[in-house]
């Protein structure tokens, strides 16, 4: 770092966005200082679903195994219940998070990683630990106060909350990962559009062994249908496992037009007992607090040398489990670009592609998460009492009559719609970037979605998409994913045994960040032909993959010789970087 600067990048926030950015930058060898005004990391479980794409990012950053060791495994995430209580009659079950017999193959095929469930109380220490081990400087009890930027850097005012000392740091770039009430966004003049606090939910965190009711039908989410819970937009109570099966969250909606919700432990205990179905159950309450449903996103994520991401830029409810997953992916997108610009291997204009690529994703997930809440309405309707004053909704569902059959059909349809929340592999993986850091195919035609875009992954090497996962065979005979041969801060040019011209050209260019992988050579043999089936280019073609696993450019065919390939590659690198 030149003397003028205290560090290259200052990150405000150590949530999933800040901690992942710190980890990735430290991994790429960038000097980074990450701060939080708190004394430690997340103190409540918060986001917990870790989707396939986020798991792939954590894999690429080398901490997937650590995460898996502490997470609830995929197989246990599965049978989402709709029930009157854990002990009471069940109304419906849904196979979720791809664990169903009809979907598990899709999830296994799409990724070398698996979905897991892990709360932020466990994820954040893993991220921050790894970042610090790799050289990131971490400061707790340190508050961001303000910042002023000029052409060369940003001067940031910080306060040590223990000593009261206020001081400044001079940095090249500032990252605002300071969550939904982002001060950095405000100071940078970045706006968030949409509606804040449009509905409210209370979460009560508690301890208590419930394994006897759930271990035989494992699920991290149980929806409780009872009159007490029939409030708010979802209108169902929630029992969500934090740690199987003795740490939980109970959730219920409240009417925000009636002021603050009741947060007393007595009320929480009464509800938990009703949800469990056992009037003698003794939960140990850890905390009770409200949170509010937001539907807001930022159209622009950066201003000059200040870059924001995570909840600072997209604010939405937990439905669909897109919260920390999206933060982790924002971070992975931003970090390599900052690293390349700081290292002088890319022009500062590369950083413009951060907003171009991530802002549309932010908007999409905000809309998706809110829609997932609205999509509970048909379930509530299917469970509603008969308007003629006859059977209650639940009785109707058990009736051996045409009305009963209609009710069962309506409930099945209503639950099917929830696949867009609970089996939405496409929403999680089908992101397509359009920016200056991606070169579309010549004469590109619009992508045709062969199946529902939200539900199913469509693997492709189209520029702007993530490289498809294909199993290769490594030197020791073990399987290696195509995702494992890219990343590590490098641009990876993938070609085949007949693509020698590309390999020769890359060697001649000797670019500090470019490496070549020739599929078919020892260590990366395509013995299952999975890459051959998914690469979409000829064997002598080429696919250039960015450090974040996104395809930057591809050539369907081979180059005639190394000269032609060099000229082409030089153009491509100049364009992307
Ligand atoms: P995050 O809010 O996690 O972190 C912000 C960081 O900035 C913190 O380290 C904070 O200390 C720091 N900071 C803020 N201002 C600062 C300042 N001025 N100076 C220094 N540091 C500052 N999502 C989901 O998908 N499923 C769920 O079930 C839930 N549940 C849930 C419950 C509760 C109680 C909360 C609060 C949130 C959720 N969420 C959630 C949302 C999820 O937690 C959220 O998407 C991510 O934590 C966002 O991560 P970020 O890193 O963007 O910000």
Chain center to CA of 84 = 31
* Ligand 1 centroid – CA 154 distance (Å): 24
pLDDT at 385: 65
CB 251 near ligand 1, within 6 Å: no
Q: Which atom of ligand 1 is nearest to the CA of 182?
A: 15
pLDDT band at 231, cuts 50/70/90?
Answer: confident
Q: Where in 78-191 does DSSP place strands (E)?
A: 79-83, 90-95, 116-117, 137-139, 142-149, 154-160, 166-176
Q: Which atom of ligand 1 is nearest to the CA of 124?
A: 3
Average pLDDT, the chain: 95
Q: Which atom of ligand 1 is nearest to the CA of 325?
A: 25
The DSSP secondary structure of 397-436, one letter per residue, reads HH-SSHHHHHHHHHHHHHHHHTHHHHS-HHHHH-----ST
- Among candidate residues 538, 545, 537, the one with its CA nearest the CA of residue 576: 545
Cβ atoms 497, 467 nearer than 8 A: no
pLDDT at 393: 80
ipTM of the complex model = 0.97
CA 519, 523, 527: angle at the middle one, nearest 5?
60
* Ligand 1 centroid – CA 290 distance (Å): 14
* Ligand 1 centroid – CA 15 distance (Å): 6
pLDDT at 386: 60
pLDDT at 227: 77
Res 357 pLDDT > 90: yes
- Tallying the residues shown for the chain, one arrives at 577
Probe target for ligand 1 pocket from 320, 323, 366, with the most ligand atoms within 8 Å of CB? 323
CB 119 near ligand 1, within 6 Å: no
CA distance 413 to 415: 5
Res 388 pLDDT > 90: no
DSSP label of 132: H
Going by their DSSP bridges, the two strands 116-117 and 49-50 should be labelled as antiparallel
Cis before residue 245, ω within 30 degrees of 0?
yes
Q: Find the DSSP H helices in 142-190.
A: 183-188
Res 80 pLDDT > 70: yes
* Ligand 1 centroid – CA 560 distance (Å): 52
CB 183 near ligand 1, within 6 Å: yes
pLDDT at 54: 98
Classify residue 377 by burial, with Cβ atoms within 10 Å: 0-12, 13-18, 19+: middle
* Ligand 1 centroid – CA 164 distance (Å): 24
3-state secondary structure of 175: strand
* Ligand 1 centroid – CA 170 distance (Å): 26
CB 323 near ligand 1, within 6 Å: yes
3-state secondary structure of 318: coil
DSSP label of 525: B
Structural domains in the chain, sorted by start: 7-71+118-190+298-370 (3.50.50.60), 74-113+193-297 (3.30.9.10), 377-417 (no CATH), 431-576 (3.40.30.120)
DSSP label of 473: E
CA distance 548 to 558: 25
pLDDT at 524: 98
Probe target for ligand 1 pocket from 11, 23, 33, 37, with the most ligand atoms within 8 Å of CB? 37
Q: What is the mean pLDDT of residues 325-349?
A: 98
pLDDT at 99: 97
Task: Look up tokens 């919260």; give the residue.
Answer: 323
Residue 292's alpha-carbon distances to 24, 104, 199, 366, 421, in angstroms, are 31, 33, 6, 14, 19
* Ligand 1 centroid – CA 289 distance (Å): 14
Chain center to CA of 68 = 16
pLDDT band at 467, cuts 50/70/90?
Answer: very high
CA distance 467 to 461: 6
Residue 138's alpha-carbon distances to 128, 526, 562, in angstroms, are 8, 42, 47
The verdict on pTM exceeding 0.95 is yes
CB 16 near ligand 1, within 6 Å: yes
pLDDT band at 391, cuts 50/70/90?
Answer: low
Cis before residue 210, ω within 30 degrees of 0?
no
pLDDT at 107: 97
* Ligand 1 centroid – CA 105 distance (Å): 33
Cβ atoms 549, 56 nearer than 8 A: yes
- Among candidate residues 517, 543, 524, 539, the one with its CA nearest the CA of residue 459: 543
CB 179 near ligand 1, within 6 Å: yes
CB 241 near ligand 1, within 6 Å: no
Q: Which two tokens stand for residue 357?
A: 């690529």
CA distance 536 to 538: 7
CB 13 near ligand 1, within 6 Å: yes
Res 369 pLDDT > 90: yes
CB 520 near ligand 1, within 6 Å: no
Element holding 554 (H helix, E strand): strand 551-555
Q: Which two tokens stand for residue 114?
A: 């698996």
CA distance 469 to 456: 14
Chain center to CA of 381 = 31
Q: Which atom of ligand 1 is nearest to the CA of 142?
A: 20
Phi/psi of residue 2, nearest 5 degrees: -55, 155
Ligand 1, atom 35: closest residue by C-alpha: 46
List, for residues 256-312, the tens digit of each pLDDT value. Answer: 999 999 999 999 999 999 999 999 999 999 999 999 999 999 999 999 999 999 999
Could you tell me the end-to-end alpha-carbon distance of the chain, in angstroms, rounded to an integer?
A: 22
When computed from its CA atoms, the radius of gyration of the chain, rounded to whole angstroms, is 25
Cβ atoms 174, 147 nearer than 8 A: yes
CA distance 454 to 345: 36
CB within 8 Å of 323: residues ≥ 6 apart: 16, 46, 47, 311, 316
The DSSP secondary structure of 38-103, one letter per residue, reads SSSS-SS----EE-HHHHHHHHHTT-HHHHHHHSBPGGGTBEEEEESSSSS-EEEEEE-TT-STTT
Residues forming a β-bridge with 400: none
List, for residues 107-145, the tens digit of each pLDDT value. Answer: 999 999 999 999 999 999 999 999 999 999 999 999 999
């Amino acid at each position: 770092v030149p003397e003028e600067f205290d560090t290259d990048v200052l990150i405000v926030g150590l949530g999933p966005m800040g901690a992942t950015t710190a980890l990735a930058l430290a991994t790429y060898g960038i000097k980074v200082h990450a701060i939080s005004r708190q004394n430690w990391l997340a103190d409540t479980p918060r986001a917990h679903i870790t989707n396939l794409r986020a798991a792939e990012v954590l894999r690429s950053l080398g901490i997937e195994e650590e995460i898996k060791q502490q997470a609830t495994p995929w197989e246990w995430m599965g049978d989402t219940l709709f029930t009157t209580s854990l002990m009471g009659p069940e109304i419906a079950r849904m196979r979720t998070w791809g664990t169903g017999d009809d979907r598990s193959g899709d999830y296994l095929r799409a990724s070398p990683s698996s979905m897991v469930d892990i709360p932020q109380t466990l994820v954040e220490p893993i991220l921050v630990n790894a970042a610090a081990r790799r050289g990131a400087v971490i400061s707790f009890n340190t508050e961001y106060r303000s910042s002023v930027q000029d052409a060369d850097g940003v001067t940031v005012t910080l306060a040590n909350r223990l000593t009261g000392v206020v001081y400044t740091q001079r940095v090249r770039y500032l990252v605002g990962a300071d969550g939904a009430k982002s001060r950095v966004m405000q100071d940078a003049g970045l706006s968030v559009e949409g509606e804040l606090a449009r509905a409210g939910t209370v979460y009560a965190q508690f301890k208590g062994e419930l394994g006897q009711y759930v271990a035989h039908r494992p699920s991290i989410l149980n929806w409780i249908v009872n009159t007490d819970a029939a409030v708010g937009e979802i209108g169902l109570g929630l029992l969500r496992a934090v740690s199987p099966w003795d740490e939980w969250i109970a959730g219920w909606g409240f009417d925000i037009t009636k002021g603050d919700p009741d947060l007393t432990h007595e009320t929480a205990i009464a509800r938990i007992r009703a949800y469990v179905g056992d009037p003698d159950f003794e939960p140990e309450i850890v905390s009770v607090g409200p949170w509010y449903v937001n539907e807001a996103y930022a159209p622009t994520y950066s201003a000059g040398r200040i870059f924001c991401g995570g909840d600072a830029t997209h604010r939405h409810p937990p439905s669909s489990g897109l919260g920390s997953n999206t933060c982790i992916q924002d971070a992975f997108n931003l970090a390599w670009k900052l690293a390349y610009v700081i290292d002088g291997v890319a022009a500062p204009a590369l950083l413009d592609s951060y907003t171009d690529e991530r802002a549309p994703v932010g908007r999409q997930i905000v809309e998706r998460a809110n829609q997932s809440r609205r999509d509970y309405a048909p379930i509530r309707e299917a469970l509603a009492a008969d308007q003629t004053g006859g059977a209650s909704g639940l009785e109707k569902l058990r009736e051996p009559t045409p009305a009963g059959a209609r009710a069962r059909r309506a409930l099945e349809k209503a639950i099917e719609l929830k696949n867009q929340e609970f089996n939405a592999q496409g929403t999680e993986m089908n992101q397509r970037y359009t920016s200056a850091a991606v070169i579309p195919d010549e004469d590109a035609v619009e992508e045709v979605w062969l199946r529902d875009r939200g539900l199913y992954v469509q693997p492709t090497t189209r520029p702007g998409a993530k490289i498809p996962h294909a199993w290769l065979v490594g030197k020791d005979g073990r399987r290696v994913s195509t995702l494992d041969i890219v990343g590590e801060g490098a641009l990876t040019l993938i070609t085949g045994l007949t693509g020698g011209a590309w390999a020769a050209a890359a060697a001649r260019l000797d670019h500090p960040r470019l490496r070549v992988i020739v599929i078919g050579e020892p260590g990366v043999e395509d013995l299952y032909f999975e890459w051959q089936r998914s690469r979409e280019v000829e064997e002598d073609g080429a696919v250039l993959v960015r450090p974040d696993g996104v395809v930057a450019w591809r050539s369907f065919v081979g180059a005639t010789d190394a000269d032609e390939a060099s000229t082409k590659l030089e153009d491509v690198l100049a364009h992307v970087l």
